[in-house]
Structures are given as structure tokens and as C-alpha cells.
Structure 1
Amino acid sequence: MNIQQLENELWEAADQLRANSKLTAAEYSMPVLGLIFLRHADNRFQAVLPEIEKDIPPQMPAVQREEVIKLGFQGKAAVYLPEAARFSRIVDLPQGEQVGTVIDEAMDAIEAEHEVLKGALPRGYTAFEPGLLAELVKIFDRPAIKAATGDVFGRIYEYFLNKFAMTGAQEGGEFFTPPSLVRMIVNVIEPDHGVVLDPACGSAGMFVQTSHFIEDSGQPDAPHPSVNDAVIFHGQEKSDINTRLARMNMVVHGLDATHIRQGNTFYDPIEHLIGGCDFVMANPPFNVDGVDTKRVEGQVGELGADGVRLPFGLPGTNGKTGAISNANSLWVQYFYAYLNDTGRAGFVMASSASDAGNKDREIREKLVKTGHVDAMVAIGNKFFYTRSLPCTLWFFDKGKPEDLLDQVLMVDARNVYTVVSARSHVFTDEQLANLNAIVWLYRGESDKFVALLGRHQQRADDGLAMLPARLAADTAAVGRLGAVLRAFADGAALADLNADPEDVPVTPAALAAFKADLAAAEAEAATTQAGLAAMLAACAQARAAVAATGKEHKDKVRLQATLEALGPQLKAAGKTLEARHKVWLKLQDTAEKGLRARLSKAFDGKAAREAKRALLAADGRRGEAPTVRDEVLEALKQAVYFIHQGHWLHSRFPNALFERVPGLCTVATLEEIKANDYSLTPGRYVGVAAAGAEDEDDFAEKLREIHDELTELNDKAAALAARIAGNFEEFLA
């Protein structure tokens, strides 16, 4: 079972609790997340337990044995679970047992063992219908989820947070930052040591992604570095539910949640961290008004003085209330003030903050003059689940080298995205990596750029490597269907096909036309096969070039040219295969529906169905495994996709050096920023891409987006029309 299917299945099952109870989405979200926490905690517990038990003598008394097990979990990247909290105990409850009570007691037992979780875990499972809750527990005990690793479960956890955000279950989704933006922030600031602060930490997504970054930064053949040894996480959130979510999310990922605190960042400074953080990252609430001026004006002053977090002054105030009219500039200064002398910060801000006037403009001027604004990245609409506003990612670096102090990297990424639905966009892994490569080049890290280009090329080669076997399987499936249809064409008798006198008769002309179409398809098969063979030969040459390519940039450039020359052949092969499938499936459809082939002794219906199944797309919603057709087209798509990713990089930065790319990126000097009234909006500086510069694939993606959005709107319109018609009929009845 693939991860997306698993996520969807779990969500549908969990959502039955809300659909069949009186609870609102907000009321049932925490218990469901708690159950996921319990399942994941048990997975990690069971993974470590055998290692601890192997050194325990079998004759040791049970009570003493449990104490030894508990001690064994100290220092492990897993949570010790007392027997009352182990998932197997809940699953094995006799029918009719009060499962909600037992889960509540399990949460009590865990908190009793782990002080950091005190008060964080949800209760109230007795509010659910026992049968439904027991069924959900069994679903969470299926083999696929029992075998889920930490990364898989982390993704499931994030998926549920996303879904609850989309339903507005948690304060309009404010606690949840889309993973695309979190990953981009982490990739740019590279938080791999020291003190990491998020003063608006929500569900601690920034910390979880930091842990992934640290683990992935280790050498491939070496043990993963210990995240809790490398960094100390500090988080602050004003609401109790979000601090609980943050602690649960961190513990479920094996992270130290000791320093997650509840507090309003505007009024509750973390004094000992001011000027002491290596990294600060956050997605604060945008455009907050009503902050009490009197309670924050004491934070203004020179950095280094006690309690100073507003080194550039107060933003403007509301003339009627006297309160801060927009808190965006408070947040910007807080992030800056918490950094130490070499610290980096990355955070999300409303797009308006980079152009705001009056006091905000004065604050921005002072900030720019420090030289510590590192980069600004404009993000397009639809990245947030509960709002469609564009935003900007801000990056500070107090340790910038001297040659970069008088400039700011400007990146306009509003045209870089992948459509998930008509209202949701994300960055793919490759888009994130390509955008990050711009930052590497800006920092002079060309070796990372070259390595990324090489990885794209290797992934393209992985797709090419799968093609021969998958193409052979596809051709064999077509051959099997062709053999069934040829046997029918040669052996069909009109008397058999017209056995039922009430049916419309199959005419000799219809059977003759089918035979002619079949003969044409068989004749075309040889031409098609020759074209595919030529494509495979070109793929073999390209693969040989990949194997022989060195590590230097010039080597990668030559290889990219070879791969890009292959691209049109791969795209043509995909179209050829889909056309071939269409022809043979149409012939089968004609035989079965038009000629009633099932009535002929010459027709092997079972073989025809199996061959047809291989040439149709699998239904992922039903959990169907990829078919022969899916697999060969996926190999082609993978190769084409990664060739395109390499093209995206190389066509924009052909010398593996940073340069201005109209419509995408540039470096703005402090003088240019001053001339633009200290605006930090990337669009003001990068300009517009030249006409015709947009790639064909990018244009096709935009067309697909428009088509998907139109389809979704049409579906909604049809549903609304049906509802109105139903209501009208009800009214007239």
C-alpha cells in the first residue's frame, strides 16, 4: 500500500467519528491526533524493545523486568510506554469493553511516565460511539501502519494536521504552516547546530523539518547525527491547544520538547534567548492589530540592553485606539533581536509587509542598512490551506560575508509551483531543490549546484534503466490481446454471434470491417515496434554517457545536452504507447460490444480481460496496484521530468554561477533598494521574463491548472444546481 493511499484510507476512517457523532471537527481533531500519536509511539517502542530485552534474563520477575526495560529506553529515540498504554492491549480488548475509557487511561499512564507530556495528551474518548472507536483502533493496527517507519508516520501526522487545517478545526488552521514553506525556510538557513527558536511555533513543524534536515545532512554511510545533541529547540505559542500539539508532534518524532512554552510573544519575551539564538524561524500570524502599545514600548532601544527586542522602533499606531495598527514589523524585529552575532533567521510574512509605508518603512530602512537582510523570496497564491493570500519569505544572516553585506538576493518564485487542486499549490522536492540552488550560487557554493544537476541526471537515468523491461512487458500485454483478437477474427462464425434472434444481427460487413481494422493494427505494430526499438537504443547510449560522466561541471553540461536531445524521443514514445493502447482497447471493445465476441468459441474472454486490465490505468482510489501500462509510462515520465529539472537549472545558470534571470532572481544593492524607497518586494527588482522564455512543460502545467480549476468549478456548479432543483421540488411538493 502506498503512503498516499494509506493517508486517504486513515482519514476516511477517522472522519467517520465526526460523521457519526455529535462532535464538531474541532472537538474530534485532538482525539484523532492523540490516537495517531499513540500508534506511532507504540511503533517506535516495539522497534527498540527487542534490543533491550535481549540482555534481560528470562527468569527475572515481571516487576523488576519492567523497571529494566524503562531504564533501557533512556537515551533512545523512542518513548517508553507502560503496559497500560501499549497499542496491542487496546486492540485486544474483548468486544463490548469500554475502549474509550481504556484509551483515556493509556494517556494518563504515558503522562505519568513522561513529564514533558503532562497535560498535552487528549482525553474524552468516551464521547465516541464505542463500536466506531474500536473499529478505528483496528484500522490503525493494520499491517501497513504497524510497519510504518518514523518518516512515514511523521508524514501521516502532518497529513492529518493539514486535513484538520483545511476543515478549520484548529483556529482557522493558523497553527499549521504548509510543509513546502517550512522546508524552504529550513533549506535556506540550514539549522544544524546550537539554539533554534520559533516564537510562534504552532504544531512545531519547523522543528520537525529541522530534524529531517540534520538527519539528511549526515554522510550516507555514517550513522545519522543525533538531532537532540546537535540543537536545542525553543518554542513559544499563545494557545494551550497549540503548545500541546507541538509537544506531541515533537515527542512523536523523538525530539526534546522540554523548552516548548505557552506565552504571548508580544508581551512574554524569552529574556535569556535575546541575542543568543543561532537560528530563528517562524510563521507568525499576519497583520495582527490591537497590540497594546504601552506593553511593548519598553522593548525599544539599543540591542544588548535588557529586554530590548525592538531595535528599530515602534510601528504606527491606530489613531482611535492607540494600539499598534499592524504587528508585522514587531515580528520582523523580534526575529532579528533574538539572533546572535552569526545567527540566521527565516520566516513567513504577508506580502504587504515588504512594501508597507510610514513607520514600517522607517523600520525597514534601518533593517536594510544593517546589511543583514540576506534574501527575500516571493511566494504565490494557494500555498496556505485556509487562505489564498500570497506571502514573502524573509531571511536574515548576521554572519554574512563582507562581500554580500551591501546586497540582498531577490527571488520571485510566484511562477514556480505544482498544482494539487484548484485551491492548493505546493513545491515538489525538485522545485524546492532548484530554488535552493539559487541561494547556493548567490553564496558562491557552486559545488552544491553541480551536485544537484548531477542528481537530476541520475534520477533521469533511473527512469531510463526501467524502460527496457517495462516496455517489453507492455509489448507482451499488447501481443496477448492481439493474439486473442486474431483467434476470434479467424474463428468467429456469424451463426454463433447471432444466436439470439432478439439481438440486432452482426452483419458480415461489420465482421469484415473488424478484420480489416485488426489487420491494420497488426501491420502498424511492426512500425511502432521499430520506433520503440530505436528509442531504446538511444536510451542505451544516453545511459552509457551517464555512466562515463565525470564530476566536473563541464561534464554535467555535456551530459545534459545528450539527455535533452533524448527528451523529444521519450515524449514521442509516451504518445506512441498511449495511441497503441487506445487502438487495441478499441478493437477489443468492438469485438465484445459490437460483435458479441463472448458468444464465440474462438474468443478467450478471460485472457482478453487480463490483457485489457494490463493496458488500462489503475484506480488509485480503490487501492489498485499500478498496471503494466502505468509502469512503462511512469518510467518515461520520470526520465522526462528529471531531464526537465536539469534543463531548468542549466538553462538559467549555464556557468554554475549566480546571474540575474529576468522574472526569477537578481541581486539588489542597498543603493537600488534605497532608490525603491526601501521596498523589499522581489517583483520590483527581478523584472519580467522575456516573451517566449517560458518552457513548454511550464505552459502545459498552467493549462492543466486552468483545466483542473474549471473542472472543479463545473462539478460544484452541477452539485449546486442539483441541490437547488431538489429544494425547489421539495418546496412545490
Structure 2
Amino acid sequence: MNSNEKIQVVGTNIGEKANLIWNVANSLFGAYKPHEYGLVILPMVVIKRFHDCLLPTQEKVLETYEKVKQLAVKDGFLRKASGYRFYNTSKFTFEKLKADPENIKPNFEDYINGFSDNVIDILANMGFFTQIERMTDAGVLYQVISDFCKDDADMDPERISAIDMGYVFENLVQRFSESYNEEAGAHFTSRDIIYLMCDLLTTNADFSDEDAPAKTVYDMAMGTSQMLTCMEERVKALDNTADIICYGQEINPFTFGIAKADMLIRGGDPENMQFGNTLNDDKFSSYTFDYVISNPPFGIDWKREAADVEAEHKKGDAGRFGVGLPAKSDGQMLFMLNGLSKLKDTGRMAIIQNGSSLFTGDAGSGQSEIRRYLIENDWLDAIVQLPNDSFYNTGIATYVWIVTKDKPESHREQVLLIDASQCYEQRRKPIGNKRVDITEDCRNLIIGAYGDYITHNYTHKLANGTEIICKAKVMDAVSLGYNKITIESPQLDENGKPIKKAKKLVADTSKRDTENVPLDEDIDAYFEREVLPYRPNAWIDRNKTKVGYEIPFTRTFYEYKELEPAADIAKRIEKHEHSMMEKLHELFGNGGE
């Protein structure tokens, strides 16, 4: 299956499986409020996924268990028998549970307690055990289990891949979150965007050295870990012998549980999946990685983490946030700094940000200082604007930042801006707010622009005749910076003469002004040309000069379109009015005059 087919099948799998599972939630009506459905349904999906994985080897596991149950250490034997890093020693299956409605609670508890400890931990983290009691008391436990016995609820990995299952989970999490008015900033990332990020990260990467150590990839806000899974998939597509190890952290107990379950099913180390708040409870403080890939929340405040974040900021270079702190209303640039701290000296990061990271914050502010840190260290390599309506639950403009600590010589002291806002194919059927896909043709055009690293407009005609365009502009890094200078004018006495104190002019604060002077321009020359001709007595307060950085993405790609002549507009309006009058006459006849 090629990448376009995989992008499209996501929609099919999400629609079919998620709708089926969402309908199971109807069984909870009355016993649970709609925003509580996820407390039951998400853990049940995880349980059913484990169940369907283990079903083919159940008899072998039961036989092995009878032989080793008296041993102090038996996990290894049971894992080998199951074929996974987890197992279940209960005799029950979902079908057997369904066959005995009178004993549904004790039988289901026997089944759940038969899981290995790593699965029990996932379910405990989701708070599922209290829900068994609640479902029993409400009389809905049997119906929920019966609903998951339907043929189309089969979640065997042979029927639905780990990546696609992850999207089903994320779609369900999204629906449950929306019913509870969860933060809108937690945006789920579709496969087409992740593929683009992965390909941007691995452009010119070499995985062919058999003796090279395994590559590591980290997602600091992993959700259900689909970015990590796709990264592994793309690396394997480049070199099927490549070895890549995934690490991630997640704050939501349900999506974390799903990510850890997915890691267990795929045979990875579940300890690489960590639960906690990345901003104030970093589980990978001593780690660095080859790749960082992430879509952290944006537009979400960090007030609850403020005490810990500010304490780490005071550590300076010894902490992650010593460079500067963004406004408390939006913590996305804190994730940028966290990701940067996790990169090896040869590491690369692809991170999604909204437009505010490009320009918010005046010179000297936390946001500007973070941009300054990236640009003056020559770590910011490229920024790609994605098409609007690329995400399931937001239509706003978003950007992929490519950050690398090992820029190629040809990219040094430059930043490539890529406007891919018109590089997409329309979806036949939208998924939520997602109306467009970055298909393989689109992705190749963007990757080609990044690989060339030149100023150029790239176009390509799709099979349906539609033309897509991708615009690239190489910026000198210094051009993104400016000196913010403070301009003072003297107070004047009643005779209009400047007032002095201790032989120094006294500034009139009401006339204080500021100017942003490009870093690559001489301040004095700018002042003499742009200020003195209009304010002859003005001067620069050198003590107040600050350096700022912003990335003028919109201005860089703005194209002036000449206005239509007024006479032509008037003719068009007259023609439109004439047409409307004719239609009115047809409708009402001349008698309507």
C-alpha cells in the first residue's frame, strides 16, 4: 500500500471503527453522562485490542501456565508462549463472557486479573477498576461486553494496523474531549502531516551503516504515539534494516495508556513510554535523541506549571528554560525549548507551532529571546507553512519548524521559509475540520523545495489537472533580527527652548518613541536618515536598546495585486443590477413595476 492509500484508508478506518465504538457508548446512556463515556470506552478498546492480539495463542499460554504457575519467575515463559511482551492466563474470552450473563462481573474480573502486570498498570492508570463496579451497579456491563463481541469490532493487528488503531483511538479521544469541552489546543495530527515531518527530518539521512547504533526518536507530547509509529515506518521504508528506538511522554492518562499498549503490541520497550507533564515533570532529563518530532498543544496556558518552570528558568544554562519564558497564556515555545534540550549535537527536530511563535513578543521578551537563541546559534533550518484545514479540529494556520544542531555548510547563517499553504489535494470527504490532504505529490514538491534550499516557486500539475504550488524563500538569518531603539525628544520651556539639567537635555516622556532598525543596518545611519529630518533635537537612549527577532512569514510571501479600475467595477455592478432587474421582471411580470 503506497502512502496515498495509507492516508486515505485512515479516514475509512477512523470512520468505520470509531463510529462503531462510539455507538457502543450508547449502552452507557443514563448510567454515565456523555462526557464520562470515555472512562469506560477507551479502556475497553484497549482491553479488546489486547484480547484480539492474544486470542490465537490463548491455548498455548494456558498450557504453559499450568506447567510454570508454581515457579517464582514465570513471565518469560508466558511471554514466549503469547508471542508478545504481555499475556493473559484467564480461561475466559469475550465470547465466553457473553455466554454467561448471570456471572458477568466475577468472570470479567477473572479475565482482567489474568493479564500480566504491565497491562494491569495501564488499566489502573486509566482508573478502570472502579468502572467495573459502576457498570455492574448500573446493569450495563454485560451489554458493553456484548457490543464488543460483534464481528466488526475485531481489532486483531492483522485486520487493523497499530498506526490505524492509533488514529481510531485519537478520534475517540477527540470526540470524548469535545463532549467535555477539553482544551482546543490539543490537536491530533493526521498521517499526511506526520509523513511530511518525517521526510523533512530524514532528508539526506544515511541509515545504511550496519555498525551504527540504533537511532532514537522522542515525542514530548506523544498522544497515542502515532508520530513515533509513523517515524519508525518511514525510516524502515528508507532502509528496512535500520534500527530505531521510540521514546515519548504524555500527560493524558488515557492517551498514555493507549500509547503504552501500542508499544507492548509492537514489541517495543513499554518503559520508553512515560506518563507525566513534560513541562514540570520531565521523565527524560538525562536523555538526548537523534530525532525529536512533536505537535505540542498551543494556545494553552502554563499557569499550573509556572512555579516549577520559573524555578528551572532561574537555573540558566543548567535548565531547559534559561533562555526565556513566553507569555503564560501560551506554552508552546516552552516545548520548543524542551525539544531543543533533548537534541544530540547532530540531532534534528520537527515541531508544529501556530503563527504566534513567529512574531509575538517584543524585543527582549521571552518569545523573542527564544527565537534569538535559535537563530543566533544557527539552529533554525527551515519553517514550512501547512495548508489551512489540515487538522481534524482546527482550521488555523500552522507551521512545521525544522531545527537542527548540525546544519549543513550550505545552510549556514540562513533560514528557508516554505509557503506550502496552497500545496494540497481536497479530500473527497472531510474528517471534522480536515478538508485537505498533503498527498505524495504535494509532499514531494515540499521536500524538493527543502532539499534545494534556494529561492524559487515550485509548481506541479496533479492527475486531475489541478496545479499545486510551493514557494520557497531563503532568508539571511541576520535579516530576521532588529535593534529596537528608544528615541527621546527634549522638554521645552515656555519659550520653546530645550530644558537641561546638569548640562543634559531633559527627555519629554510624552514624546518618547521607538524604532526597529534591521540588525544588518547601522543604527546611526538609520537615525540620521529616518528620524533627524523630522525631529532635529531627538537622540537615541543607548541604554534602552534591545535586540529582537521575528519571522515575517506573511510579509515575505505577500504579492501585491493591482486593484481593478473603478470604471470596470462600475460596469460590473451595472451589469449585475441589470441582470437582477430582468430576473425580477420574469418573476413578477411588468405589473410588479
Length-normalised TM-score, structure 1: 0.54
Whether 2:244 is the aligned partner of 1:230: answer yes
Q: CA deviation at 1:201?
A: 2.5
Map of 1:188 onto structure 2: 200
Map of 1:355 onto structure 2: 359
Relative distance call for 1:101 and 1:177 in structure 2 (3 A) is farther
Map of 2:17 onto structure 1: 7
Relative distance call for 1:337 and 1:132 in structure 2 (3 A) is same
Whether 2:221 is the aligned partner of 1:211: answer no
Indicate the SS of the match to 2:374.
helix
Q: CA deviation at 1:79?
A: 4.6
Q: CA deviation at 1:670?
A: 1.3
Q: CA deviation at 1:285?
A: 2.3
Check the 8 A contact 1:36/1:157 in 2, yes or no. Answer: no
Whether 2:158 is the aligned partner of 1:155: answer no
Q: CA deviation at 1:278?
A: 1.5
Any idea what the Cα deviations from partners look like across 1:197-224, whole Å, max 9, x if unmatched? 22222332322322332343344xxxx7
The structure with the largest strand share of the pair is 2
**Identical amino acids, percent of aligned pairs:** 16
Q: Letter of the 1:208 partner, please give it.
A: T
CA distance in 2, matches of 1:427, 1:78: 37
Whether 2:323 is the aligned partner of 1:312: answer yes
Map of 1:338 onto structure 2: 342
Map of 2:545 onto structure 1: none
CA distance in 1, matches of 2:331, 2:22: 39
CA distance in 2, matches of 1:383, 1:100: 44
Q: CA deviation at 1:347?
A: 1.5
Superposed CA RMSD: 4.2
CA distance in 2, matches of 1:172, 1:314: 21
Any idea what the Cα deviations from partners look like across 1:173-207, whole Å, max 9, x if unmatched? 66552224434323322498433222222332322
Alignment of 1:269-668 (within 5 A): 269-270=282-283, 272-273=285-286, 276-287=288-299, 288-290=301-303, 295-300=308-313, 307-315=318-326, 324=328, 326-358=330-362, 359=365, 360-417=367-424, 418-419=426-427, 420-421=429-430, 424-425=433-434, 427-428=436-437, 430-431=439-440, 434-444=442-452, 642=463, 644=465, 648=468, 664-668=471-475
Q: 2:67 aligns with which of 64, 68, 75?
A: 64
Q: CA deviation at 1:339?
A: 1.0
Map of 2:495 onto structure 1: none
Q: CA deviation at 1:361?
A: 1.9
Indicate the SS of the match to 1:345.
strand
Gaps in structure 1 of 5+ consecutive residues: 317-323, 447-452, 454-559, 565-640, 653-660, 692-733
Check the 8 A contact 1:373/1:408 in 2, yes or no. Answer: yes
CA distance in 1, matches of 2:251, 2:452: 40
Q: CA deviation at 1:381?
A: 4.0
Q: CA deviation at 1:373?
A: 0.8
Relative distance call for 1:437 and 1:73 in structure 2 (3 A) is farther
Q: Letter of the 1:196 partner, please give it.
A: V
CA distance in 2, matches of 1:61, 1:165: 40
Map of 1:259 onto structure 2: 272
Check the 8 A contact 1:309/1:337 in 2, yes or no. Answer: yes
Alignment of 1:23-42 (within 5 A): 23-42=32-51
Map of 1:73 onto structure 2: 79
Q: Letter of the 1:78 partner, please give it.
A: Y
Relative distance call for 1:331 and 1:339 in structure 2 (3 A) is same
CA distance in 1, matches of 2:99, 2:310: 62
Map of 1:683 onto structure 2: 554
Relative distance call for 1:380 and 1:46 in structure 2 (3 A) is same
CA distance in 2, matches of 1:61, 1:342: 47
Relative distance call for 1:230 and 1:250 in structure 2 (3 A) is same
The structure with the largest helix share of the pair is 1
Relative distance call for 1:216 and 1:43 in structure 2 (3 A) is farther
CA distance in 2, matches of 1:134, 1:328: 40
Q: CA deviation at 1:62?
A: 6.8
CA distance in 2, matches of 1:185, 1:75: 38
Indicate the SS of the match to 2:270.
coil
Q: Letter of the 1:202 partner, please give it.
A: G
Indicate the SS of the match to 1:258.
helix
Alignment of 1:683-702 (within 5 A): 683-688=554-559
Higher mean alpha-carbon deviation, 172-181 vs 160-169, is at 172-181
Check the 8 A contact 1:411/1:686 in 2, yes or no. Answer: no
Any idea what the Cα deviations from partners look like across 1:386-436, whole Å, max 9, x if unmatched? 4443322222011221111222221223334434449512553625x5235
Check the 8 A contact 2:293/2:350 in 1, yes or no. Answer: yes
CA distance in 1, matches of 2:437, 2:330: 33
Indicate the SS of the match to 1:138.
coil
Relative distance call for 1:429 and 1:240 in structure 2 (3 A) is same
Map of 1:700 onto structure 2: none
Gaps in structure 2 of 5+ consecutive residues: 1-8, 208-213, 482-517, 520-547, 563-593
Relative distance call for 1:113 and 1:105 in structure 2 (3 A) is farther
Any idea what the Cα deviations from partners look like across 1:561-601, whole Å, max 9, x if unmatched? xxx8xxxxxxxxxxxxxxxxxxxxxxxxxxxxxxxxxxxxx
Q: 1:669 aligns with which of 458, 476, 484?
A: 476
Relative distance call for 1:47 and 1:184 in structure 2 (3 A) is farther
Relative distance call for 1:389 and 1:237 in structure 2 (3 A) is same
CA distance in 1, matches of 2:18, 2:255: 24
Q: 1:45 aligns with which of 51, 54, 62?
A: 54
Check the 8 A contact 1:99/1:130 in 2, yes or no. Answer: yes
Indicate the SS of the match to 1:246.
helix
CA distance in 1, matches of 2:187, 2:85: 24
Indicate the SS of the match to 1:349.
strand
Q: Letter of the 1:107 partner, please give it.
A: I
Any idea what the Cα deviations from partners look like across 1:688-733, whole Å, max 9, x if unmatched? 4999xxxxxxxxxxxxxxxxxxxxxxxxxxxxxxxxxxxxxxxxxx
Q: 2:147 aligns with which of 127, 136, 139?
A: 136
CA distance in 2, matches of 1:341, 1:95: 60
Check the 8 A contact 2:352/2:399 in 1, yes or no. Answer: yes
Whether 2:258 is the aligned partner of 1:245: answer yes
Q: 2:188 aligns with which of 177, 194, 199?
A: 177
Q: Letter of the 1:13 partner, please give it.
A: N
CA distance in 2, matches of 1:268, 1:5: 35
Map of 1:82 onto structure 2: 88
CA distance in 1, matches of 2:113, 2:352: 37
Q: Letter of the 2:66 partner, please give it.
A: V
Q: CA deviation at 1:133?
A: 1.6
Q: 2:223 aligns with which of 202, 219, 227?
A: 202
Q: Letter of the 2:353 partner, please give it.
A: M
Number of equivalent positions: 458
Indicate the SS of the match to 2:77.
helix
Any idea what the Cα deviations from partners look like across 1:623-658, whole Å, max 9, x if unmatched? xxxxxxxxxxxxxxxxxx64658x75xxx6xxxxxx
Q: CA deviation at 1:280?
A: 1.8
CA distance in 1, matches of 2:552, 2:109: 50
Relative distance call for 1:147 and 1:216 in structure 2 (3 A) is same
CA distance in 2, matches of 1:207, 1:346: 12
Q: CA deviation at 1:364?
A: 1.1
Q: CA deviation at 1:64?
A: 1.6
Relative distance call for 1:89 and 1:69 in structure 2 (3 A) is farther
Check the 8 A contact 1:310/1:337 in 2, yes or no. Answer: no
Indicate the SS of the match to 1:685.
helix
Q: CA deviation at 1:95?
A: 4.3
